[in-house]
Amino acid sequence: MTRAEAGRQRGWNDRLPPSKAYKPRPGLSRDKRSAEQDRAAGGRHRRAVLLDSGSYARASIQLRLYRNTRRIQAYLRWSDNGVTKEKHVCDVDEATRAANLALAWTKAREEGRVVDEPLPPNSRASSVAVRAVMTANKGKDTKPEMLLRAALHRKGLRYRVGIRPLPELRRTADVVFPKVKVAVFVDGCFWHGCPDHYRPSKQNSEAWSKKVKENRDRDTATTIALKEQGWTVLRFWEHEDLELAAEEIRATVEHRRARL
């Protein structure tokens, strides 16, 4: 059965396609929309359009419903020097938006409209896929950090985010209580070498192990420097129960306030 035949069986010749076949979920954030495109394309690095300048732009697929023909058409969109460009890729007739996005990305790749973004000359990653995973790991406002901050807020605590506890020390903490000198860090399992979840990379392992060791040494030096200046330092792994972490932070902050 062809896709067109499947579409006819779903009744698209008699009625409009269902909204779930082309519309994004309401309230989807920009980051989640980007992640949706990444999944459909097979990775962020697979969304590259080669520009005339020799550089690359990250593209996305837009699905549009044409009511008069009851057809969903997919367009590839990207920005070139600040100008938005797009090209029609194909008609799609799958039952879900995810399936239609994946179909359109496959077609765009088959036609050579998108390519894999190559590794930068100075990259430590062993492949574009590895680099895509690493660059997707945000340095701030990560999901664990946001969950912890929300838990602290529910407990009535107010704090600063992403600042240097000591201005002269080039280290930022994830959550800071300046008046009582409490600095909180939420450490990622991969980048900081979690003893429970860190697994050395099988490719380019020496370089990655060196990077993780440098991060751990930096963490230790930061903790020592802050404690020497009278700060209490609390560190939590991203996999820990953040509600329990928030309770420990609350107790620590209240204890320090009582001593002022």
* pLDDT, position 193: 82
Give the pLDDT band of residue 31 (cuts 50, 70, 90). Answer: confident
Question: Which of 175, 158, 191, 194 is CA-nearest to residue 232?
Answer: 175
Whether 132 has a pLDDT exceeding 70, the answer reads: no
Domains of the chain: 3-110 (no CATH), 137-259 (3.40.960.10)
Q: Tell me the C-alpha distance between 179 and 123, whole Å.
A: 41
- Residue 144: phi and psi, rounded to 5, are -60, -40
Among the listed ranges 29-33, 52-56, 164-168, 201-205, which one has the minimum average pLDDT value? Answer: 201-205
CB atoms within 10 A of CB 236: 20
* pLDDT, position 212: 81
Whether 93 has a pLDDT exceeding 60, the answer reads: yes
Give the pLDDT band of residue 44 (cuts 50, 70, 90). Answer: confident
DSSP assignment letter at 196? T
Any idea how long the chain is? 260
Among the listed ranges 47-56, 79-88, 133-142, 146-155, which one has the minimum average pLDDT value? Answer: 133-142
Whether 185 has a pLDDT exceeding 60, the answer reads: yes
Q: Tell me the C-alpha distance between 172 and 202, whole Å.
A: 31
CB atoms within 10 A of CB 196: 8
Q: Tell me the C-alpha distance between 36 and 26, whole Å.
A: 13
Q: What is the dihedral of CA 30, 147, 133, 213, to 10 degrees?
A: 150
Among the listed ranges 165-169, 194-198, 220-224, which one has the minimum average pLDDT value? Answer: 194-198
* pLDDT, position 203: 60
Whether 139 has a pLDDT exceeding 60, the answer reads: no
Question: Which of 51, 34, 118, 117 is CA-nearest to residue 85?
Answer: 51
Whether 123 has a pLDDT exceeding 70, the answer reads: no
DSSP assignment letter at 58? E
Between 32 and 89, the more confident residue is 89
Paired with 63 in beta bridges are 74
* pLDDT, position 252: 97
Q: Tell me the C-alpha distance between 43 and 129, whole Å.
A: 7
SS3 content of the chain, % helix, strand, coil (to 5): 40, 20, 40
Q: Tell me the C-alpha distance between 208 and 214, whole Å.
A: 10
Q: Tell me the C-alpha distance between 37 and 46, whole Å.
A: 10
Mean pLDDT of the chain: 86
Q: Tell me the C-alpha distance between 128 and 35, whole Å.
A: 17
Tokens (6 digits) for 22: 């082309």
* pLDDT, position 9: 43
Whether 224 has a pLDDT exceeding 70, the answer reads: yes
Give the pLDDT band of residue 45 (cuts 50, 70, 90). Answer: confident
Whether 169 has a pLDDT exceeding 60, the answer reads: yes
Whether 138 has a pLDDT exceeding 80, the answer reads: no
Give the pLDDT band of residue 196 (cuts 50, 70, 90). Answer: confident
User: Which amino acid, residue 234?
Assistant: L
- Residue 160: phi and psi, rounded to 5, are -105, 155
Mean pLDDT of 226-245: 95
The whole-model pTM stands at: 0.51
Q: Tell me the C-alpha distance between 182 and 248, whole Å.
A: 12
* pLDDT, position 124: 54
* pLDDT, position 135: 54
* pLDDT, position 76: 97
